[in-house]
Structure 1
Amino acid sequence: MRSSISLGRVGGVPVGLNISVLVIVVILVVGLAFGRFPIAFPGLPAAAYVLAALVSALLFLASLLAHELAHAFVARRHGVEVSGITLWLLGGVAELRGEPRSPGADLKIAGVGPLTSVVLAGVFALLSWAVSAVGAPPLVSGMFGYLAAVNVLLAVFNLVPAAPLDGGRVLRAFLWARWGDRMRAAVAAARAGRVFGYALIALGFLNLVSGLGLQGFWLALIGLFLVNAATAEEQQTQIDAALHGITVGEVMSHDPVVAHPDETVAGLVDRLVLRHHLSTYPLVDDEGRFTGLVTLGRVRRVPPDDRAVTRLRDIACRPADVPAAHPGDQLTELLQRMSGSTDGRAVVLGDDGRLVGLVTPTDISRTIQTVDLRSREPYRTPRGADLAPPSPESPAPRGPAPRGPAPRGPAPGSPAPGGAAPPAGRRDAA
């Protein structure tokens, strides 16, 4: 899940919004301003309801962000890299690149999200009581009370023992500790997530035929997301298990064809592209140091008339944006860093920092097709999702709130979804 709008960094973690999050805001504002609040607190100006709804929507998104940040901060304390957090249509996604090294660490990373939601529920409940005690308008107290209820539902839903929800991570940690087999535990949690997703889809269709159209639609949508995320997690787990023990040096393309950063695009095309028919060309300076990466996609984006005057350094992917590894590094660890990288390639550097190889999607595909499948650990934790629960006042069963990797269910306060984390994303689900 990619961010459309950057919100900067919080505690060193990049935070962004996907444009689809605006759907959550619209649903919440309309549902609260023209539904829940006027019914619960009649007789106020329309502007008061709209203002309270806007504040509620923003605080709800802040709650989702706090949930994901809790996952991210605890993950970093346990040595797991966090590439960023994105809020989107179905919730929040915390992208974790790396794996906890023990069931205990896995449990802490997963459990801190729901715990944060429970703490926020207590804070909002206390605020609701405090503003009521000092004689503030009932609408203000009701707004905080609503946010307290939403955070409780968010915590409860995300503790359902089904990946990629946080409860699925908790289940994985428990089974990992019991069985001593991380891959087996991850597969079991993913299959539980798939079963739960199918159950939500069935429940959604039941609501549709029962007249609860929009509520049923969102439940089915969340269920579909869970099924896809859980399936992707299981497949990724099996692939990582098969690749465990394989080093980057066994997979990489040795002695790649390179170019100089001062060469023009036209020169690269005439000298190398039309002759070697490769898709990737690392750039190295006169001393053999890696200075950037050029792909055919980047070459094609240069207008033909400009290729003779455009230097490769001007179109190359920066070294800082290209995953780098040493030949002895584990391939599974490099794949985690390559996921979501700008050009989907990685460079391999020797001990002296000089370029010695390149890892491309073709190299990885060839390895997956030829490697003997064997169950090993550690495996790569699939990305999950945090899902938001359906509105507290909804007659339909409670829905969710993608950790991390990885989304949350229907947006509280209306018959539509709220927010939270996917597979090949956050890291886990909240």
Structure 2
Amino acid sequence: MSTVPATIHLGRLWGIRLGLHWSVLLVVLLLVSAVGMGRFPLAYPGYDSWAYVVAGLVAATLFMLSLLAHEMAHALVARREGQKVEGITLWMLGGLASLKDRSPSPGAEFRVAAAGPATSVLLGVGFLLLTWFAVVVGAEPLIAGVPAYLALINLILAAFNLIPAAPLDGGRILSAALWRRWGDRHRAAVVSTRVGRGFGFALILLGVVTLFDGDTGGLWWMLVGIFIVVMAQAEQRQSELGAAVAGLRARDVMTAPPDTADGSVTVSDFLHATALVRRHSTFPLVDEAGRFQGLATVDRLKSVPLAERAHTALREAAWPPSEVPKVEADDPLPDLLSVMGEQADGRAVVFDQGRLVGIVSPSDISRAMVLHGRGVQR
């Protein structure tokens, strides 16, 4: 499961990196406007404007925390199932947990997918109990209205996510069920993503009809529908590619030995004396002891200002080791595909017992598929 780039990094929780995309600020403003200045004044009249704004801010903040809890549930269960979890990013259309490899079994996929909606249901029930408590103790109607709204929105979130259409959680549950029944992960994923695309197009159509009726809320349905269609298509392509390279390992597709470079050389010297005469555009950096120091790509080096190239070392301008996707030589190719494209211009480096033995680029993947006679159906 991929994620969107985080604009604001919030640190880590239980070892999982948390981030916010800038679009979350837009969502908070929209929620404060729609809930704090629209829903609450109609449902609970008689308060000052500032009270509605504060109530809207509290509701928006707790809603984003609810989304975080939903995604955190996915991430924690995935980690318990043996999957690698890169991080969680909250953005305009909710949250995305970035999982770096595929579920090992239909049961694991089901448990990971079901964890999110289950958490949303628990939150909805919890907010309902909080609403009941606020009413019992005689709290102001507006105060009781905040948890009531959050109970409703969490239950709606759970119900929406349980729709059996990828990339929604319900689509992953459907995929897990079909995978168990047919014993074919790829076939199950394709069916789920096709249902997801159909559902997405239905939401787009609903949005268009709603707009023609004069309701601007149709724009939101169109946006959600477009997101579902795009994500479903991406998941289908990923599944098809995974099926095409099944049985291959990183060592089968890597370029070996890798064309390395000395990280202490300046960017200027490297671009003029080395990069122009070598056939590669990406170079792993190693020190005298053979230790990996980063990954230099020509595109990244060209971004160094001309005035700084003569006194900037390659390792200072290259992708740092922590941001370069790494795999072991015997890792299955689908696991390699799941980490490629995060950083380092779509490249990954391959190690064998701690020793750098190869590098993989998108062209290496394409070449391997041709050589092994494997095609991806379109």
Using the size of structure 1 for normalisation, the TM-score is 0.84
Among 290, 293, 297, which residue is 1:291 paired with? 293
Correspondence for 1:15: 18
Task: Give matches, 1:63-212, under 5 Å.
Answer: 63-212=66-215
**Could you say what secondary structure the match of 1:83 adopts?**
strand
Q: Which moved more, 1:37-46 or 1:308-317?
A: 308-317
Task: Give matches, 1:36-75, under 5 Å.
Answer: 36-75=39-78
Q: Tell me the distance in 2 between the aligned counterparts of 1:60 and 1:84.
A: 19
2:23–2:92 contact (8 Å) kept in structure 1: yes
Question: Are residues 1:220 and 2:205 paired?
Answer: no
2:252–2:368 contact (8 Å) kept in structure 1: no
1:242–1:372 contact (8 Å) kept in structure 2: no
Q: Tell me the distance in 1 between the aligned counterparts of 2:70 and 2:330.
A: 37
> Which residue identity does 1:297 align to in structure 2?
D
Task: Give matches, 1:380-391, under 5 Å.
Answer: none
Task: Give matches, 1:278-427, under 5 Å.
Answer: 278-351=280-353, 353-373=354-374
**Could you say what secondary structure the match of 1:123 adopts?**
helix
* Structure having the larger proportion of residues in helix: 2
Q: Which moved more, 1:99-108 or 1:69-78?
A: 99-108
After superposition, the C-alpha distances for 1:316-360 in whole angstroms (9 at most, x for unaligned) are 222232222333322221121223124321122233x33222112
C-alpha displacement of 1:369: 4.7
Task: In structure 2, list runs of 5 or more residues that go unmatched.
Answer: none
2:24–2:91 contact (8 Å) kept in structure 1: yes
Q: Tell me the distance in 2 between the aligned counterparts of 1:54 and 1:326.
A: 47
C-alpha displacement of 1:23: 1.5
Task: In structure 1, list runs of 5 or more residues that go unmatched.
Answer: 376-430
> Which residue identity does 2:219 align to in structure 1?
F
* Aligned-CA RMSD value: 1.6
After superposition, the C-alpha distances for 1:180-222 in whole angstroms (9 at most, x for unaligned) are 111111111001101111111111111112222x111111111
Structure scoring higher RCO (CA < 8 A, sep ≥ 6) equals 1
Q: Tell me the distance in 2 between the aligned counterparts of 1:218 and 1:369.
A: 42
Correspondence for 1:24: 27
C-alpha displacement of 1:169: 0.7
After superposition, the C-alpha distances for 1:88-115 in whole angstroms (9 at most, x for unaligned) are 1111111111111111111110011111
Q: How many residues align?
A: 373
After superposition, the C-alpha distances for 1:238-263 in whole angstroms (9 at most, x for unaligned) are 11100111122221112222211211
Q: Tell me the distance in 1 between the aligned counterparts of 2:372 and 2:152.
A: 50
Q: Tell me the distance in 1 between the aligned counterparts of 2:209 and 2:370.
A: 42
> Which residue identity does 1:263 align to in structure 2?
V
C-alpha displacement of 1:5: 0.6
Q: Tell me the distance in 2 between the aligned counterparts of 1:308 and 1:53.
A: 54
> Which residue identity does 2:152 align to in structure 1?
A
Using the size of structure 2 for normalisation, the TM-score is 0.95
**Could you say what secondary structure the match of 2:319 adopts?**
coil
